[in-house]
A and B are shown apart, each in its own frame.
Chain A
Amino acid sequence: GNSVTQMEGPVTLSEEAFLTINCTYTATGYPSLFWYVQYPGEGLQLLLKATKADDKGSNKGFEATYRKETTSFHLEKGSVQVSDSAVYFCALSSIIQGAQKLVFGQGTRLTINP
């Protein structure tokens, strides 16, 4: 079945450091790929997405490129801020009977120190 493997956390960085969170997937067909972010006490917010190979999703300084050849969708940010501290989830969509089902990675807790 479809699955997502995400870099284990927690990850702790200093402000302005470069961030990479690795994500690889296993899927049949051509799923859409997503990064969601979860702040303490809140639900998930879509951070960025890519719907086909070589697409680059970007938002708030974060980027991820859909790499079909390596089945990867790594999240990057050039200079992190304290406000980026959160849990990040990589996900893919499975389409079953016309309905979209999200399959998530385990999540990576990111802490940014000032």
Chain B
Amino acid sequence: KAGVTQTPRYLIKTRGQQVTLSCSPISGHRSVSWYQQTPGQGLQFLFEYFSETQRNKGNFPGRFSGRQFSNSRSEMNVSTLELGDSALYLCASSLGGQYNEQFFGPGTRLTVL
């Protein structure tokens, strides 16, 4: 069974640009969660989607948005990039129940210059 895949793995952007990251969950998983990992703030929850609906959102500005498609693939978008958005963005998929394990992808390393 293929794991969670994220594309691209590395990305370099400049301030003010926007970026779209993609996550393909494990086959059969309907929930996708996104996390931001930085040295200063650690791992922080961004949002979670289940069957194309956002069920949960973390404490991030509106520049961070996401969506999920009918095949459960998810994208997250960051507009008007700031230097502080440089981070490793991890997505995790699960079956979607309260106690189901989350499986993480390798992450997308975003650098904002």
Contacts and interface: CB of A to CB of B under 8 A. Distances in A.
Interface of A: 32, 36, 41-46, 49, 51, 89, 91, 93, 95-107
Contacts of A49: 101
Contact of B102 (A95, A97, A102, A105): A102
A20 to B, nearest CB: 21
A98 B105 contact: no
B56 A44 contact: no
B56 A99 contact: yes
Contact of B43 (A95, A100, A104): A104
B41 to A, nearest CB: 9
A101 B56 contact: yes
B90 A98 contact: no
A69 B92 CA distance: 31
Contacts of A44: 90, 92, 104
